[in-house]
A = this chain, B = another copy of it.
Amino acid sequence: MKINGKDARALWFEKGAIKFIDQRKLPYKLEYYIAKNVDECAFAIKDMVVRGAPAIGATAVYGMVLGINDVKKTVETLRKTRPTAYDLFYAIDYMKEKIKDGVDPLKAANNYVEDIIDRCRKIGEHGAPLIKDGMKILTHCNAGALATVDWGTALAPFRIAHKIGKKFFVFADETRPRCQGLLTDWELEQEGIPHAVIADNAAGYFMKNGEIDLVITGADRIAKNGDFANKIGTYEKAVLARENDIPFYVAAPVSTFDKSIKSGDEIIIEERGREELAVVNNYKIMPEYTKIRNPAFDITPHKYVKGYITERGVFEKPSF
């Protein structure tokens, strides 16, 4: 990805520590967070310094490097951070095996991260042909480079299509409660891709008015039958897309597909604290008395999905 015109990444390992673009501060300030040990790494995941399943996977492999002296405890600490992020478990298992095989942990971790980046670029290459000149495309949350170290999943096809000169327009849902649409806005602004932010409530309006031709979102975890967990509101947009005959695609690396679960019914949804909805960028927008229910994710049944854009190609069903 580009930051002020220069190549950049969402996180990397340097001098015995993980360096992150602090996503709690974006888009208001570009600051970095440094995790020097496993607890700081776990904090970065829990407090959403870093977010997005592939980036959490990348964080976990580097977290295993930081915690190499007590692998069992490191695994325990990292596993507890985000129960919905399947990549987290995938990354931990990968590192456990590499460590068992005697591979240098940092080398193994770097390979994992380079592999993620490579897969995301391929997602972009496979997804870009879906984008035609003149299209208006909706995305939800931020499935961009910030969520995947580089390229993104849902945003990767946008980057590739833009690179090869296609003209299109992106609607970015604001994505309450955490307003990650502003991260998508920030990324698209950096890339020079024409776009606008809309209220989550407005997506249906634009669909019904024929102003949206395609929807692409990311996924946090995809079950064997294609049901998937993603940021709260994804289910709403998928239902609305089908109602308006708009193709809805999920972009995710193969590592997000969890064949151990048959359907979305087996995915546990976190409900998070009231502050997420009541406080925006440290500013309280709701009174103290306001009670809140705050599910962080929802499950979208596979019947709403036209296809899955992966590094291996675009599939109608997760049949690979």
Contact = CB atoms under 8 A, between A and B. Distances in A.
Given A174-B176, A197-B277, A202 B294 contact: yes
Interface stretch (A65-73, A74-82, A234-242, A307-315): A234-242
A162 interface: no
A204 B28 contact: no
A286 B26 CA distance: 10
A206 interface: yes
A277 to B, nearest CB: 6
Nearest to A243: B239
Contacts of A239: 204, 239-240, 243
Contacts of A240: 236, 239-240
Contacts of A27: 286-287, 290
Contacts of A291: 195-197
Contacts of A100: none
B199 A200 contact: yes
Interface string A274-287: 00010011010111
A201 interface: yes
A197 B235 CA distance: 19
A177 B195 contact: no
A320 interface: no
A202 B178 CA distance: 13
**Interface size class for chain A?**
35 or more
A299 B291 CA distance: 30
Interface in A126-182: 171, 174-177, 179, 182
Interface string A183-195: 0011001000001
A293 B236 contact: no
B28 A201 contact: no
A203 interface: yes
A194 to B, nearest CB: 9
Contacts of A298: 201-202, 204-205, 208
A218 interface: no
Contacts of A177: 199, 201
B196 A293 contact: yes
Given A27-B287, A195-B291, A208-B235, 8 more contacts: A176-B199, A185-B290, A197-B290, A197-B293, A199-B232, A199-B294, A204-B235, A204-B298
Interchain residue pairs A-B with the least CB separation, the first 10: A201-B233, A204-B236, A205-B298, A176-B199, A196-B291, A201-B232, A196-B293, A283-B283, A204-B235, A280-B285
